[in-house]
Structure 1
Amino acid sequence: MDVWVGSYTSATGGNGAGISTFRRAADGTLTPDRELPMLSPSWLTAHPSAPVVYAANESDDGVITTVSTDLEVLGATSSGGAAPCHLVVSADERYLLCSNYSSGSLSVFALAESGRITGQTDLVRHEGRGPHKQRQEAAHVHMAVVRDRIVSVVDLGTDEIRSYELMDNGKLDPLSVSAMPPGTGPRQLVRRPGTDVAYVVGEVNGTLVVVREEQPGLFTPVATVPATKEPWENEAPNWVAHLEIVGDRLYLSNRNPDVITEFDIAAETPVALADHPSGAWPRHFAIADGTVYVAAQRDDAIVTFPVEGGAQVRYPTGTPTCVLVR
């Protein structure tokens, strides 16, 4: 099994190669394998069934690159906005949705059965701002989450989750707007399987927000907790980044505290159990077979450790931003 790593490259102030791959052994250890140069692929998403991976090339003139699982470029398409930062394939595998952070927009692209992008079908732009003058001066779309035909779009700049219905023709029909607590700066939304509960990363104010999905695509905040177990009291803010759910545990990455915080989510209000050291600036991580793989961006390394915490292993790679376990 492979681990793919996206990185910032020199054009955007990083020192990564583009996409790097590692071979993953049965015990979780990694061996460097191949590299594919390209401009700052800060997010990677694998097609659910076709042998392709999509890369969001985070630049002012955003691009989506389609790559074969043999690490060959199959095509490049304008993302329709600036600084694309997240990609997701629709439940029926007919569409790819791209979040453009700087332009505050969401693009929709039609997909062939092969996974190739065949054209853009829609583009929606958000308007608004939040109370944080530096981070919320405008709309900043950071993630789209898909459940059946419902697309829920997380906007860091406006403190909102805007939901749409994805129509058969690839158009987005507005459905609802859910307000998050002012100054939250929502970055990601992850549903807890089998429940009406979901969790929102508050990047700007360093929190984890519990929301209830009262009807499809409409979310109501029910609890907010700090994003770390130990209080973060420092002039540098805690830019919370990525979360994953494994059973009744939730794992959340914290930049500046530089820890992955483990939460018990058996009850409605999450309980922080431990802050696991993760390397500097843990922008993203993946969990596979009991091992956490962290993109420690400012350490120029993938940092691994057991999900319950323990000894770290570091694998050098330039300015990693995203980890995809395949």
Structure 2
Amino acid sequence: MDVWVGSYSSATGGNGVGISTFRRTPEGGLTPDRSLELASPSWLTAHPTAPVVYATNESADGAITTVSAELEVLGTVPSGGASPCHLALTEDARFLLCSNYGSGTLSVFGVAGDGTITGQTDLVRHEGTGPHTQRQEAAHVHMAVVRGRTVSAVDLGTDEIRSYTLADNGKLTPLAVSAMPPGTGPRQLVRRPGTDLAYVVGEVGGTLLVVREDPVGTFTVVKTVSPTKTPYVEGPKGPNWVAHLELLGDRLYVSNRNPDCVTEFDISGDEPVALADHPCGRFPRHFAIEDDTVYVAAEWDDAIVAFPRGGGEQVRYATGTPTYVLFR
């Protein structure tokens, strides 16, 4: 199995090469394999059937690069805004959604059956601010999640989740606007399958929110909890910039930057219960779970940090300024 790692390159002050790949052994170890020089591919998304991966080039003149399974660049298109930070495919893989953090825009691209991006079909621009003058001075679209033809865009700058209906021609129509508590700075959203519940991480507020989705595309806050088991007191490192969410069965995992841990929650009930804070390297950004092992992009340690899902001994694999871990 291949593991692809996206990184910040020198284009944005990082020291990653671009995309690095590793071979994963049956025991879960990683062996360096290949690399591709690319400008800050901070988020990676694999096509479900075509042998291609899409990468955001997170720079002021944002772009999306399509990469082959052989680690060759197949094409690059403008992302529709500055600092693209997230990509999502629709369930039928006909459209690719790109969240542009810097410009507060959400763009839509058509995708052919072979994975080729055929062109931009729509772009919407968010407007607004939040109470945190440094982080919420403007709209900052951080993620778009898809449910059928409903696209919900999480906006860190405006404390909102804006939902749209995506038409067959790739056009977005506004559906609903859901306000999060002021100063939340929502970064990511993940739905709990089989329920109307979802979870939102507040990067600016350092919080984990439980929200109820009813009707589809409309989110109401049910509960706000700490994203760590041990309360974090801001110190010289700075605030808890909560980053990434992963849901696996009745467990929810949250990466916390500055507390530098992945916190494991039991979500078998209506309210998440924090079970443990698992140390995972400095400034844990994205992480992925494979065969009961957690692989963390420890951005400030220049390493992928791996440990058992329930916690345990860490193994480190050197790679420059990692931001994303993709198994394929």
Same fold (TM over 0.5): yes
Aligned to 1:309: 311
Cα deviation, residue 48, structure 1: 1.2
Does the residue aligned with 1:169 lie in a helix, a strand or coil? coil
Cα deviation, residue 129, structure 1: 0.6
Aligned to 2:283: 281
**Pick from 294, 298, 321: which aligns with 1:319?**
321
Does the residue aligned with 1:49 lie in a helix, a strand or coil? coil
Does the residue aligned with 1:11 lie in a helix, a strand or coil? helix
* Letter in structure 1 aligned against 2:322: P
> 2:265 & 2:71 partners in 1: Cα distance?
36
Aligned to 2:240: 238
- Aligned positions of 1:17-56 closer than 5 A: 17-56=17-56
Aligned to 2:273: 271
* Letter in structure 2 aligned against 1:308: G
> 1:92 & 1:167 partners in 2: Cα distance?
13
* Letter in structure 2 aligned against 1:265: I
* Letter in structure 2 aligned against 1:125: R
* Aligned pairs, number: 326
Aligned to 1:165: 165
Does the residue aligned with 1:298 lie in a helix, a strand or coil? helix
- Aligned positions of 1:104-143 closer than 5 A: 104-143=104-143
Q: CA RMSD in A?
A: 0.5
Q: C-alpha deviations, 1:32-60, integer Å up to 9, x for none?
A: 00000010000000011111000000000
> 2:69 & 2:129 partners in 1: Cα distance?
39
* Letter in structure 2 aligned against 1:205: G
Cα deviation, residue 234, structure 1: 2.1
Structure 1: gaps spanning 5 or more residues: none
Aligned to 2:197: 197
Does the residue aligned with 1:187 lie in a helix, a strand or coil? strand
Cα deviation, residue 299, structure 1: 0.1
Aligned to 1:216: 216
* Letter in structure 2 aligned against 1:210: V
Q: C-alpha deviations, 1:92-140, integer Å up to 9, x for none?
A: 2111000000100001000110001011000000000111111001000
Q: C-alpha deviations, 1:225-254, integer Å up to 9, x for none?
A: 011000101231000000100110000000
Percent of aligned positions with the same letter in both sequences? 75
Does the residue aligned with 2:268 lie in a helix, a strand or coil? coil
Does the residue aligned with 2:214 lie in a helix, a strand or coil? strand
Aligned to 1:184: 184
Instruction: Report the TM-score when normalising by structure 2.
Output: 0.99
Does the residue aligned with 1:67 lie in a helix, a strand or coil? strand
